[in-house]
Chain A
Amino acid sequence: MEYSIIADKLTKKFGDFTADNAISLKVKKGEIFGILGPNGAGKTTLISMLTTLIKPTSGHAYVLGHDVIKDALEVRKSIGVITEKVTMYPPLTAEENLMFFGRLYGISRKELEEKINEGLEEFQLSKFRKRPVGTFSLGMKRRLDLVRVLLNEPKVFFLDEPTVGLDPITVSFIKKKIRDINKRGSTIILTTHIMQDADELSHRVALIDHGNLMACDTPKNLKKKLGKNATLENVFIHYAGEELRDETEKMSIAPRRGM
């Protein structure tokens, strides 16, 4: 099978409000696939459906051939997810957090210890292994989050805004790691608001606006359509327009739950 992800008319409604509207796309094995779109476009919602966190209202999706609704557990076994917010248990140390998640992935203790050592080393966190994660800077947390996800050796990797809030050094470090992980054979799905990052990293990008898939192609092709010297930012504005995304109107229809 050559596709890691197949989405077929994937739709999510919150009440009357359609967050994702019949999105169909295919992500090839080994691809770095960028998902772009304005705030509130439906990117996180799309990723949540693909990672089995929320159920689609209609449509289907398959990750490595497993149905995200019917075979949710099979899907979870082979994916890694990093969400916008970094979440580890603050009172537990880096090592304890990794141990905890490693156990949830079902990794044996001995193997886990080795992997944790390697991971902490690779992401330059060995020194801080005994420190509670609550004391970490955002950059350290984000790196630790990557160590955590890699424990499971995910075949498909979802990264929702992995570089938000980080300094340029950490950003470039993480971008390099994303490429490394991809070279080791993982498919990567990533969302970002930084067009340059998307352009540099992605083999193909999808542009979503108001829950609709507007375009899906290589960055090069998308830019070419707009003429010479066009940037991905031009492409973005071409499809999404310049209108600011004010969420208040929508929120009165479908108030967002949570924080």
Chain B
Amino acid sequence: MIKETWALFIREVKKTFRNKAVVAMMVVQPIMWLVFFGSSFSHVPSSFLSSFFNTTNYIAFLLPGELAASMIFVGMFSSMSMIQDKRFGFLKRILVTKAPKESIFFGKVFGASTRGLLSIPIMMLVSLAFGVVFHWNILSLVVWILGLLLLGVGMASIYSIITMRSNDWQTPGVVSNLINLPLMFSSTALFPSTIFPGWMRDISSVNPLSFAAGLGRSFVLNTPPNFLFLLYLVIFCFLFLGIGAFLSREWLKAE
């Protein structure tokens, strides 16, 4: 199973990186987010910023949140790629080889997550360019990246589970509106939960995005990382990865 997963994963990555439009989008999109959204607070008095965001540079607050949010879009790539494979008949070809269905699921999930990881260095570079200062605590950095990876794999699993039985181009779009937007706005990715109403704060406190963003803020603000956050993401990731692997045996259809 590992061999097959690897072959499928490599093919997924090659496919992504040979598509110039996709690569361009991967590079440009995070930049847009940081540049436009991040700059929208430029003229807010710094005392206001630091009272809400614990930093005078909104981009410094936004970076971890934005990276966490970009991991949920990873899920969308994964399900889009699944639909594509079905519509073009690729999945049929794979399903008549001895590759177990779990491998196909894993290949998609890891392939999409790898694609998501690329936004980490890009966004960090953009942040540096916008004057964010990092303290380069290696432990925090590693924990953060790990957290993002776990979040990406978990989200990609959720999406792949949803699209296993579908062959409709619309599904990923519909699902992403239903999942991504609420998930993004009910997390601490873009704003601190202190300004949320109570019900949203409740959602935020179990939202995996908040945990990944939290790990990032430890790195950016140079505070010790909260390993419980990481644990939460480990559970989140393996739970959905496990469910997906299990369901793929029955649900994964050729078209």
Q: Which residues of A contact B (CB under 8 A)?
A: 48, 51-54, 73, 76-77, 79, 81, 83, 85, 87, 89, 91-92, 96, 100-101, 103-106, 152, 257-259
Contacts and interface: CB of A to CB of B under 8 A. Distances in A.
Interface stretch (B12-20, B134-142, B193-201, B225-233): B12-20
Nearest to B19: A91
Given A103-B7, A104-B8, 17 more contacts: A51-B96, A53-B254, A76-B96, A76-B97, A76-B98, A77-B98, A81-B92, A83-B89, A85-B89, A87-B92, A92-B18, A103-B3, A104-B97, A105-B97, A257-B167, A258-B87, A258-B167
Given A257-B255, A258-B87, A104 B92 contact: no
3 shortest interchain CB distances as A-B pairs: A103-B7, A87-B89, A91-B18
Interface in B1-51: 3-4, 6-8, 10-11, 14-15, 18-19
A83 to B, nearest CB: 6
Contacts of B4: 103-104, 106
Nearest to A51: B96
B15 A91 contact: yes
Contact of B95 (A52, A257, A258): A52
Contacts of A92: 11, 14-15, 18
Contacts of B99: 104
A77 to B, nearest CB: 5
B7 A258 contact: no
B31 to A, nearest CB: 25
12 contacts: A53-B92, A54-B254, A76-B98, A83-B89, A89-B11, A91-B18, A100-B10, A100-B11, A101-B93, A106-B4, A106-B98, A259-B87
B206 to A, nearest CB: 37
A81 B3 contact: no
Interface residues of B, number: 28
B91 to A, nearest CB: 9
A52 B92 CA distance: 10
Contacts of B93: 81, 83, 87, 101
A143 to B, nearest CB: 16
B167 A87 contact: no
Contacts of A87: 88-90, 92-93
B192 interface: no
A4 to B, nearest CB: 16
B5 to A, nearest CB: 10
B98 A52 contact: no
A81 B7 contact: no
A91 B254 contact: no
Nearest to B249: A72
B162 interface: no
A105 to B, nearest CB: 6
Nearest to B104: A104
A253 to B, nearest CB: 19
Given A87-B89, A257-B255, A105 B98 contact: yes
A126 B233 CA distance: 48
A101 B92 contact: no
B94 interface: yes
Contacts of A105: 97-98
A53 B95 contact: yes
B255 A52 contact: no
Contacts of B87: 258-259
Interface in B133-180: 167
A103 B103 CA distance: 12
B96 A79 contact: yes
A103 B10 CA distance: 11
B167 A104 contact: no
Contacts of B254: 48, 53-54
A257 B168 CA distance: 9
A66 to B, nearest CB: 12
A37 B88 CA distance: 25
B168 to A, nearest CB: 9
Contacts of A51: 96
B98 A103 contact: no
Interface string B51-62: 000000000000
B3 A106 contact: yes
Contacts of A85: 89
A106 B92 CA distance: 18
Contacts of B96: 51-53, 76, 79, 81
Contacts of B3: 103, 106
